[in-house]
């Protein structure tokens, strides 16, 4: 399969800063253009204190840092920057309302063609701080207008990301991936949290009409495998296996369409 333009977002497992699985998938799809906007330590939800969003809007890529700016919404904004003609204001329209990023934050670079495939694999780090604790509030946010999505929960953040990308790239095939299983004492990565995150991602995919890749169960990287093959970040053998799995999931979906 030959993909003209592939774009991915996510955390360390997808990011070229650490594991690079997103770029491995792009190469397997023979993508002519690739933008891997994923970052190590990134969270799906914006950081927040109560209902107050404390994530700054920025187009600067964080260097694998566990900080409030390192979130999915800013990855989406960097994708929009790459899609916007060089020197132009970054704008997009949803539900008839135009949104824009102030020019002092950044302007378009025009470095990316419209993606054919967009792959988002993020959520493993949600819960590593009180400011990004995961919860399943899908029922409370799923019918909210786009303008009211605060991004202060996984469901809200994913809905915002998908609807933004659908507005800008209406013909792109969008894939949301559930998290890999892990073997670590970190509570936010235990099985119960993994299943919660999986559930939210599946609900958002169904609601928005995009595709869901169930890496949690389908990749083969379960807790028993993780114990001996990287715990959280798959080792070389399993990076290859997971990239192959994701590629096959994308290819089989695109062939059906």
The CA R_g of the chain, rounded to the nearest whole Å, is 17
pLDDT at 256: 76
Structure tokens at 128: 């590593």
Structure tokens at 245: 């799995």
pLDDT tops 70 at residue 37? yes
pLDDT tops 90 at residue 131? no
pLDDT at 229: 87
223-244 tens-digit pLDDT: 899 899 888 899 999 999 999 9
The whole-angstrom separation of Cα 190 and Cα 172 is 33
- Which pLDDT band holds residue 62 (cuts at 50, 70, 90)? very high
Is 179 within 8 Å of 215 (Cβ atoms)? yes
pLDDT at 240: 97
pLDDT at 150: 96
pLDDT tops 80 at residue 2? no
Overall number of domains in the chain: 1
Whose tokens are 């491995």? That residue is 24
pLDDT at 257: 66
Q: Could you give the angle at which helices 72-83 and 154-168 cross, rounded to 10 degrees?
A: 10
153-204 tens-digit pLDDT: 999 999 999 999 999 999 999 999 999 999 988 888 889 999 999 999 999 9
Among 8, 34, 14, which Cα is nearest to 173's? Answer: 8
Instruction: Indicate the DSSP class of residue 57.
Output: P
pLDDT at 133: 87
Range of the domain at 113: 5-256
Beta partners for 49? 52
The whole-angstrom separation of Cα 181 and Cα 232 is 8
**What is the pTM for the complete model shown?**
0.96
Whose tokens are 């390192």? That residue is 70
Is 203 within 8 Å of 148 (Cβ atoms)? no
- Which pLDDT band holds residue 215 (cuts at 50, 70, 90)? very high
Strand locations in 33-181, DSSP E?
33-36, 48-49, 52-53, 90-94, 97-101, 117-121, 173-177
Q: Which of 47-51, 76-80, 100-104 has the lowest mean pLDDT?
A: 47-51
- Which pLDDT band holds residue 130 (cuts at 50, 70, 90)? confident
CATH code, domain with 16: 3.40.50.1110
pLDDT at 187: 86
The whole-angstrom separation of Cα 81 and Cα 76 is 9
> At 236, is the secondary structure helix, strand, or coil?
helix
pLDDT at 226: 85
- Which pLDDT band holds residue 146 (cuts at 50, 70, 90)? very high
Measured at the CA of 236, the angle between CA 235 and CA 237, to 5 degrees, comes to 95
**Over the chain, what is the mean pLDDT?**
95
pLDDT tops 80 at residue 1? no
Contacts for 185 with CB less than 8 Å, ≥ 6 apart = none
pLDDT at 189: 84
Instruction: Please state, in angstroms and as integers, the Cα–Cα distance from residue 32 to each residue in 1, 5, 118, 133, 151, following that order.
Output: 11, 6, 14, 37, 32
Q: In which element (H, E) is residue 206 found? A: helix 191-208
- Which pLDDT band holds residue 41 (cuts at 50, 70, 90)? very high
């Amino acid at each position: 399969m030959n993909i003209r333009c592939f774009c991915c977002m996510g955390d360390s497992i997808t990011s070229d800063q650490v594991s690079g699985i997103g770029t491995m998938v792009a190469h397997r799809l023979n993508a002519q253009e690739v933008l891997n906007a994923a970052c190590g330590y990134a969270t799906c939800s914006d950081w927040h204190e109560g209902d107050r969003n404390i994530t700054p809007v920025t187009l600067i890529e964080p260097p694998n840092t566990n900080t409030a700016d390192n979130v999915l919404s800013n990855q989406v904004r960097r994708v929009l920057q790459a899609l916007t003609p060089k020197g132009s204001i970054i704008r997009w329209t949803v539900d008839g309302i135009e949104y824009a990023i102030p020019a002092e934050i950044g302007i378009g670079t025009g470095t990316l063609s419209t993606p054919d495939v967009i792959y988002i694999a993020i959520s493993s780090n949600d819960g590593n701080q009180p400011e990004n604790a995961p919860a399943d509030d899908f029922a409370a946010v799923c019918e909210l207008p786009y303008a009211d999505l605060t991004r202060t929960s996984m469901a809200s953040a994913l809905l915002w990301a998908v609807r933004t990308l659908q507005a800008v790239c209406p013909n792109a095939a969008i894939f949301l991936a559930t998290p890999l299983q892990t073997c670590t004492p970190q509570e936010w990565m235990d099985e119960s949290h993994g299943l919660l995150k999986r559930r939210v991602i599946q609900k958002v995919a169904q609601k928005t009409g995009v595709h869901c890749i169930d890496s949690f169960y389908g990749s083969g990287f379960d807790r028993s495998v993780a114990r001996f093959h990287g715990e959280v970040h798959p080792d070389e053998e399993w990076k290859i296996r997971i990239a192959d799995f994701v590629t096959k999931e994308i290819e089989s979906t695109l062939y059906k369409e």
